[in-house]
Structure formats: C-alpha cells, structure tokens
C-alpha cells in the first residue's frame, strides 16, 4: 500500500494481529490461506519469503489489536506515533467510554479529522452496513445503509461501498461520495484464497460483453 518511508497503523480490532499478518502473507505471496492456517505452507512460504520479508521489513506497518479499543486510546496512539496513514477495522467495534455510541462516533470523527489535518495523515474508517440492507435491496448497498450513516457520511471525504456477488466471486466497488473528484463504480474479481481483488482479464471482459448481448 505504501512507499517505504510511510508509517501505517492498522487497528485490527476484529482480528488478532497474527490473523491480519497471515492475510497479508497470503495476499502478497499468493499462498492459499487455508494451507497457511493449517500449517501446510512452510515450504511454499520459504520459497516466497524474500518477497514478504522485503515488504514487511522495509515498510513501517504497525498492527495492533491491543491498542485503540476505545476512541480515546485510538486517538492517543495516533498522537504518539504520528503516522502517515491509519486504518480502523472496524469503527463499530471501538468502545465508547460512558457515551452513547452514535455520539461517541461523531465525537471521534471530529477529533480524528482535526488531528489528521494538523498532523497530515489519512484515515480509513471501515464500517458495517445495517443488516436490513441485504433484505431491503439485494442489488447493491447504498450510502444510507452505513450503520449510523448520517454521521459517517457527513465527516468523510470519500465513502466507498463494497458489494459481493458470491456466485460469480466478484465485487462491485461503489464510490458513493468523493469530495475531491468523481463518483462511480468498478467491478473486480475476488480471489478468496489470497484475500485479494484483481482486475478482470481481457478474456473475462470479452465474455462479460458477450453475456450482456
């Protein structure tokens, strides 16, 4: 994701640091994630380890499941580390100390927005969609499906929604809000074994055009 001199903090609140690191290994080295989890990928890892080690060691990627479990702690860590980029996975998992959750998220978004502007770093807040969205409109998610949508929408420069077609193993990425550019959508292929998106090949694009006729 980043060039070598950037510091990224990934607050992986839902997963452990090891689980997130394993996902990165499968993604970068293209090692099947089930084989890796079951411990059958050592020789494959050894063949490809240079690739991952150069990526992991050269880049300043910090993973944490221990910090950032509350909004105050998350902001404290950002203030301490002075990162270039922050990923919060995911925002509804962060605990609010003595505050209503919606008010706490609003307060957090204002404070991290100010901090990000002052310290010049970017933030990706990952959010759940309301469960109702799947039954209400099966074709695609909309911005109002974001849990506590008003607050998230208001305080974000960009809002990107993912929609998964499990039969075709394809995702549609919708750019629903873009303060500094265009909105739109793009379809990508998903490779679940590597936790990876890829663009369609020319052959696949041709087949899609044929099917539309």
**Interface residues toward another protein, by CB under 8 A:** 9, 17-18, 21-22, 24-25, 36, 38-42, 45, 52-53, 56-57, 59-64, 66-67, 77, 80-81
Tell me whether residue 39 or residue 98 sits nearer to another protein (CB atom).
Answer: 39
Name the one residue in this structure whose structure tokens are 């550019």. 181
- Backbone torsion region of residue 94, taken as left when φ is above 0, otherwise alpha when ψ lies between -120 and 50, otherwise beta: beta
DSSP 201: P
Tell me whether residue 23 or residue 196 sits nearer to another protein (CB atom).
Answer: 23
Tell me whether residue 9 or residue 91 sits nearer to another protein (CB atom).
Answer: 9
Closest approach of Cβ 18 to another protein, in Å?
Answer: 6
Tell me whether residue 59 or residue 142 sits nearer to another protein (CB atom).
Answer: 59
CB 70 within 8 A of CB 86: no
Closest approach of Cβ 50 to another protein, in Å?
Answer: 13
Closest approach of Cβ 90 to another protein, in Å?
Answer: 17
- Burial label, 172 (beta-carbon count in 10 A; 0-12, 13-18, 19+): middle
Name the one residue in this structure whose structure tokens are 């510091």. 7
Closest approach of Cβ 9 to another protein, in Å?
Answer: 6
Tell me whether residue 50 or residue 131 sits nearer to another protein (CB atom).
Answer: 50
User: DSSP labels for 49-72?
Assistant: HHHHHHHHHHSEEEEESSS-SBHH
Tell me whether residue 24 or residue 173 sits nearer to another protein (CB atom).
Answer: 24
Closest approach of Cβ 58 to another protein, in Å?
Answer: 10
Name the one residue in this structure whose structure tokens are 């420069």. 157
CB atoms within 10 A of CB 61: 20
Closest approach of Cβ 4 to another protein, in Å?
Answer: 13
3-class secondary structure for 156-190? CCEEEEEEEECCCCEEEEEEEEECCCCCEEEEEEE
Name the one residue in this structure whose structure tokens are 């090692």. 31
CA neighbours closer than 13 Å in the CB half-sphere of residue 95: 8
């Amino acid at each position: 994701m980043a060039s070598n001199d950037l510091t990224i903090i990934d607050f992986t609140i839902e997963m452990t640091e090891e689980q997130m690191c394993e996902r990165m290994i499968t993604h970068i080295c293209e090692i099947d994630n089930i084989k890796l989890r079951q411990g059958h990928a050592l020789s494959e890892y050894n063949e490809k380890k240079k690739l991952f080690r150069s990526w992991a060691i050269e880049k300043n990627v910090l993973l944490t499941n221990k910090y950032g479990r509350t909004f105050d702690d998350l902001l404290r860590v950002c203030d301490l580390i002075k990162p270039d980029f922050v990923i919060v996975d995911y925002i509804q998992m962060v605990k609010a100390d003595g505050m209503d959750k919606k008010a706490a998220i609003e307060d957090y978004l204002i404070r991290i927005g100010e901090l990000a502007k002052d310290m010049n770093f970017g933030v990706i807040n990952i959010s759940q969609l309301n469960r109702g969205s799947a039954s209400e409109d099966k074709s695609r998610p909309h911005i109002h499906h974001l849990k506590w949508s008003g607050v998230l929408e208001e305080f974000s420069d960009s809002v990107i929604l993912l929609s998964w077609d499990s039969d075709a193993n394809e995702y549609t990425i919708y750019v629903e809000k873009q303060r500094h550019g265009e909105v739109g959508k793009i379809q990508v292929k998903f490779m679940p074994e590597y936790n990876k998106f890829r663009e369609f090949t020319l052959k696949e694009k041709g087949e899609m055009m044929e099917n539309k006729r």
